[in-house]
Chains A and B, each alone.
Chain A
């Protein structure tokens, strides 16, 4: 077997909370505790858990917005957190992110085309920025002429398509989707999920899909990692986790989501 696209080893992240007492040391919250997972090209890993379970912290560490206190993130064999800031910026085009809130993830003062082209501009000279922007818009099912419009002219679902266009414009190998459909209507959710799966087939994307909704995760993911209070509870192929959950918490989640098993 080839090396995985993303290999997260024993990730741990602690936050220092505000002091509650002058004499005692500040309390420490362990947001993510000793969590490991891998993602292969063309494969989707779903991370599920309630809010506060450390899902988003995992996304932030994989995106190298935050440095883990222990453990490492190997992306294509490279430890992201050991790179220099400049090397990291050059690598960023290969792993991109789709955010939860489609109204907050696009700069209201910039045209859609400008936002989509941002990852290309960041790495310097790409002469065909306009063509790639148009191509990315069409890949997410929007007309290329939308590049000249502003975000406020679009609905939430369309904005999320634009955000996905920005994420795939540099043809990344890994896409991190942090609650990418949670803010959308159910019917729009299905469209966006289908879009993600189509893009995965076309581009061979590895996807780290983070959600609190097990039903959504069940519909798109190959592997599932269930988390609670920052600790990994169980993980495995989606079918196995869904059919015979090993942990009582997973069963609760399954019941809450109403997933037919």
Chain B
């Protein structure tokens, strides 16, 4: 089949590869030590040694952005995987059992949706203290209802199909059917959702770190770079612009990738093209 890949998928994949590649590279190499302060060299303009200059403490901006990318990716990845697995498990369970269990899980999900995500994260930080771990847990938690709802909706569709009935006729129990038939057939929908949630998680991490509830100094994070640069907006606006651009690139990249994946997995959309 030589179906053309959707434009948003290609663009998203390129941006995501850029961000993920940068984050991976920062594990082994950054131009300078991201936390090394050289006060004598503060606010240096872009040069051959400091590609984007230095900040108010003389730290290399490129190195900080790369370290920030690593933190943002790690937080988003763990949060989406954690929230996703719990959410998918709950959705599958709700769909398999039905009745009051399904109603209960879905009303809880509604409750989760009704609660402002950021407010919940702030509450968590207030109770347990601000830390990257708590930020991850908060973002994971707000992901649970999203995944639960998507999973349950897709699973309910699969439950009505004949091959599921055939599995029941074969004597499989509901949990084995969920594992063997439902999950493999809704995996595409979950992966699409995970990609989109990844973008949301990056934004949430940036917001939490900006508020001082995420990554703690000296750990770098795009949100923290933003909040540090805020006080210097008139003196050195570029320090706020760089991390802001990084966040935009990452969020737009994952958003486009998710949209593109959905277009590819939905035959109704691909026929229109």
List residues of A whose CB falls within 8 A of some B CB.
63, 65, 85, 89-90, 92-93, 96-97, 99-101, 104-110, 115, 118-119, 121-123, 163, 166
Q: Which of A65, A99, A106, A119 has a CB less than 8 Å from the CB of B170?
A: A119
Q: B-side binding surface: helix, strand, loop or mixed? A: helix
Residues of chain A contacted by B180 (CB below 8 angstroms): 107, 110, 118
Closest Cβ–Cβ distance, residue B135 to chain A (whole Å):
36
The answer to whether A99 and B171 have CB atoms under 8 Å apart is no
Please list 15 pairs of residues, one from A and one from B, whose beta carbons are closer than 8 Å in the complex, sorted by A's number.
A63-B169, A89-B173, A92-B171, A105-B162, A105-B165, A106-B166, A107-B167, A107-B185, A109-B184, A110-B184, A122-B167, A122-B170, A123-B171, A166-B166, A166-B170
Residues of chain B contacted by A109 (CB below 8 angstroms): 184-185
Q: Which of A90, A108, A110, A115 has a CB less than 8 Å from the CB of B171?
A: A90
The answer to whether A89 and B171 have CB atoms under 8 Å apart is yes
The answer to whether B171 and A122 have CB atoms under 8 Å apart is yes
Closest Cβ–Cβ distance, residue B250 to chain A (whole Å):
32
Is B163 part of the binding interface, using a Cβ–Cβ cutoff of 8 Å?
Answer: yes
Residue of B nearest to A172 (CB): B169
Residues of chain B contacted by A123 (CB below 8 angstroms): 171
The answer to whether A96 and B173 have CB atoms under 8 Å apart is no
Is B161 part of the binding interface, using a Cβ–Cβ cutoff of 8 Å?
Answer: yes
Residues of chain A contacted by B167 (CB below 8 angstroms): 107, 118, 122
| Assembled-state Cα–Cα distance A115/B173 (Å) | 15
Residues of chain B contacted by A166 (CB below 8 angstroms): 166, 170
Residues of chain B contacted by A101 (CB below 8 angstroms): 162
| Assembled-state Cα–Cα distance A100/B171 (Å) | 20
Closest Cβ–Cβ distance, residue A110 to chain B (whole Å):
8
Q: A85-B173, A99-B162 known; 17 other A-B pairs, CB under 8 Å?
A: A65-B169, A90-B171, A93-B170, A93-B171, A97-B165, A99-B165, A99-B166, A100-B162, A104-B161, A105-B163, A106-B166, A110-B180, A110-B181, A110-B184, A118-B166, A122-B172, A163-B166
B79-96 Cβ-contact flags toward A at 8 Å (1 or 0): 000000000000000000
Kindly identify, within residues 149 to 186 of chain B, every residue whose CB is under 8 Å from any CB belonging to chain A. 161-163, 165-173, 176, 180-181, 184-185
